[in-house]
Chain A
Amino acid sequence: MVYKSLVRLIDKAVLPAALLLSSKILGVIGVNYIYHLGWSFTSTGLVFYSQKDFVLANSYSSLFMFAVIFLGLLFTLIQALFFHDSHIAPNMAVFLKGRGWEYLIKGGFEVYSAAFVWLSYAWLTTVILFYQNSFGALYSWVLYICFAVSFVATLMVLLDIELELLLVSKVKESRRSVLPSFFDISSVIKKP
């Protein structure tokens, strides 16, 4: 079970990792190009000549990277809240089936593994930006946006998990309510 979960998580993390890596690099290139910042390539990496330029490049490239995380989270949350097989609206299920789009309906394992990966990236980014912000290497508002988005997304995933657990407990209860009547009937049958 652990093996299966880890393999699924790795599978789900490959594409986001590639997307986020390229978005950060593209973000730095884009900010340098738009704002004409002073920088040079050295053995330590991309070195900026003023703190203002460094903070600008770091802040906007991080924001661009987080925008990709936001899109990933949004996609996962839409899947979790509207296309989750355990609580998809019947008319939506019929609509998707009619159009041949039933592949959009996802199971809990798939939804939660994707949510885990995107939330991990969101919170890791928030922690790193918090650390950078404490050294003045980032505009504070970038950190506030990232924290707010990560927090709201986590709450929404937790709400979906709560809904899932509620449905599971309802199913269990309905099974329990069926079982005694069965035993009653069997005892009635044995009597004669």
Chain B
Amino acid sequence: MIKGLAVNLLLLLILSGLLAVPFLPFNYLALHSSSSVLSAKSWNDNGLVAVSDLSPLSKKVSVKVFPGQAAYYDDISSLANLTSSPKTYSIAAYYNLSNAKVKVGFSNNLSEIHLNPGEKTSINLEVFGILDVPSEELIILEIN
């Protein structure tokens, strides 16, 4: 009984493996780090509207800001050093100063990070609304 169950389980594993094999190449297609905005998620609210590429090194982020409230967005984009040498990256945010206060940083909470070859980091964003009414703000992120 147990032997039969084990054999069936093994066969089921082999079948699952066979069904998964054709999809392996999907994992080996990647986009270069400088333009790798393929995912964007916010963990605290639904204020993050969209993240898109302007160019390989700049990203356009739309957020909804609320008066006197701060919103934190983790991992809105990621950056990986796919070159063969260590590199220091910096990030800056451009936005309308009279509408919001914006702080942008990598996973080390700084606007600069040193990445070894193959190392990856996330980009985090903090937005504080200044206006009296909720508004949608556009933030441009530049990576150097």
Contacts and interface: CB of A to CB of B under 8 A. Distances in A.
Given A3-B8, A13-B15, A17-B18, A42 B29 contact: no
B11 A128 contact: no
B63 to A, nearest CB: 19
Interface in A93-116: none
A124 B12 contact: no
Interface residues of B, number: 29
Interface residues of A, number: 40
Given A21-B24, A24-B26, A136-B38, A42 B82 contact: yes
B110 interface: no
A28 B35 CA distance: 20
B61 to A, nearest CB: 15
Contacts of B32: 47-50
B31 A54 contact: yes
Interface stretch (A4-12, A84-92, A144-152): A4-12
Contact of B31 (A2, A17, A51): A51
Interface in A103-157: 117, 120-121, 124-125, 128, 132, 135-137
Report which residue of B4, B22, B31, B32 has the largest number of chain A beta carbons within 10 angstroms of its beta carbon.
B22
A125 B25 CA distance: 12
A167 interface: no
Main SS of chain A's interface residues? helix
Nearest to A38: B32
Contacts of B25: 21, 24-25, 28, 61
Contact of A47 (B4, B37, B82): B82
Contacts of B28: 44-46
A58 interface: yes
Interface in A27-84: 28, 42-51, 54, 57-58, 61, 65
Interface of B: 4, 7-8, 11-12, 14-15, 18-19, 21-32, 35, 37-39, 53, 56, 82, 118
9 contacts: A10-B15, A24-B25, A45-B27, A45-B30, A48-B31, A120-B19, A128-B23, A132-B26, A135-B38
Question: Which 10 pairs of residues, A with B, have the shortest CB-CB distance?
Answer: A45-B28, A20-B22, A6-B11, A13-B18, A24-B25, A54-B31, A17-B21, A135-B38, A21-B22, A47-B30
